[in-house]
Chain A
Amino acid sequence: MDIYLDHNATAPLDPRALAAMQPWLIGVHGNPTSVHRYGRAAHEALEAARAQVAALVHAQPAQLVFTGGGTEADNLALKGVCGGAPSGRVLVGAMEHSAVLGPAAALAKRGWEVEYLPADAAGCYDAATLGRQLAGGGVRLVSLMLANNETGAIQDVKALAALAHGAGALVHCDAVQAVGKLPVDFGALGVDLMTLSAHKLGGPRGVGALVMDRRVSLTPLVDGGGQEQGLRGGTENLAGIVGFGKAAELAQAELEDRMAHTRRLRDQLEAGLADVPGLKIFAAESERLSNTSQFALPGMDGEWLVMEMDKRGIAVSSGSACHSGSGEPSHVLLAMGQPPEIAKGALRVSFGAGNTESDARAAAQALKEIVATLGKRVAAVGW
């Protein structure tokens, strides 16, 4: 593989995080719950990592529950809050990740009334619309993401959360794509629950966390053993958690540099494509994650473009990796009011700290070549 431009799907593990994990992968290590010296050492490492991750989002270590990933944390938030009651109302954003839409649909099957907050054409949730939906009353939980994984559009969660709280609802925020890419302050955001994932910010896969206001009562998804203050049973993935901690520490220290670097590359790519006729950059008018660009090229199918780029050694995606291969148009773009034929043409490029200007240049060049030489052969799909 030559050029990896799919960091929103997963980022390579930072070698420094791997170095921190290494001692916990090799040699004899205790179960963090064991009382003997091996267990105690493991427990200390666990708590040090908890403090590192908490610091990245300005939360208290005790507010963190480690999970097996972002999807589990989203499920724990939604089902955990709603698990105690047989029914009620839940509002979720229409552009949410499937890790939120999935549990929301499961709640709907259980008898909960689930409603979707639409997005505007710029890829943002609108406070006035949320206000109208909340006015119906009885909303137990509102779940809205901080930054969209496809377009990168950053939501005004602070204002939306204040509205929801005013209506007596709890607020969950999926911050998986945002944390490590922009400054996030759990307290200032004013949400009750927030999801994090290690592998989107240079940590390993298979680890995530739910940051939570301890006054919120949750029904656990995974019972047994009493780990994570009874909210998530199971022997802790210690090496993974240690890697998460180190990646979080690095993300905090390097955040500004990473944002500036990826913004430069992203802007360079978009400038390079500016003269492609009919280019449509999604959410361009909104504040976006500095590393993300999602766009459609006229008459092209997104998944076909992914494969064409792949042949040229450039890894990009048409949207969420969790939907790749489905052939379905992006639900995010549909929620923004894009017609299906344009939504199906979307390509997402997401940069990381390791990318260079030549990567951005090569991507723009390759896309223009595809448009020029192969575009004619593809049936126009709408415009």
Chain B
Amino acid sequence: MKAALLILGRFLVLLMGLSMWEIVACLSPRIRFAVASPTTIAPEIVDLLRNGTIVPHVFATGGAALFGLLLGTVLGTVLGLLTWFSRTTAVLLKPFVLALGALPILAVAPLMIIWFGIGFQMKVALACLSTIFVAFAQSSRGAESVSITYIEVLRGMNSTNRQVFVKAIIPGSLDWVFGAMRLNAGFALLGAFIGEFIASNVGLGYLVLKASNLYNVPRALAAAIFIVVLALAFDWLSGQVEKHRNKIIQLFCIPKMAWKCRSVN
């Protein structure tokens, strides 16, 4: 009941926002030209959906962001976790990682064109680059913050450094890793989007750029709405991964024989 009311409330807020937009747009044709209006954007969305023109664009942007996100998360996390083995290395690398992480992605984008061309790989590289430093920093901190008592219990049982890493550090820092991944979902999309803005012939970024070059505001906004949808989908996806992290730990970090005690009879 409460949930239904909440949905209704949100729907009303949306409706109010849209109608105010519409009213403002009706004030003068110049405003209407600059900000478009819900009634001019809606047909654009329908048009993009109807003949399927949107599909390759969504796949281009979403695919580049997804590949970049996975690549950046995996690379950054593996390297970040490995810094646990050497405190010195972690301290040594920290300022460099921070510096590289602070570099605006737009600044390296032209370089990516030189390295990877103007195709799909360039967008993946940009998405990867936007995520890798956050993944590295977070997993490095996560590995460091695993409670000393867990490590002590394992060391007390004569485990080697490698065993401590596998049994305590990796599962113990996954909260941080998945937290970083959720944060990165947005960054990856932004990276891919910027790549398309710079050089592309397909993708949502391309669609927005082309439409605004033609002063077709409704179409640009329609494309932007698809980006919002894509961002929400990414957030949901990484939220699902985060939610099921216990299952992921069970699957990868614990021997199959110990999974369920009751069923081993």
* A and B assemble together: no
Interface residues of A (CB under 8 A from B): none
Interface residues of B (CB under 8 A from A): none
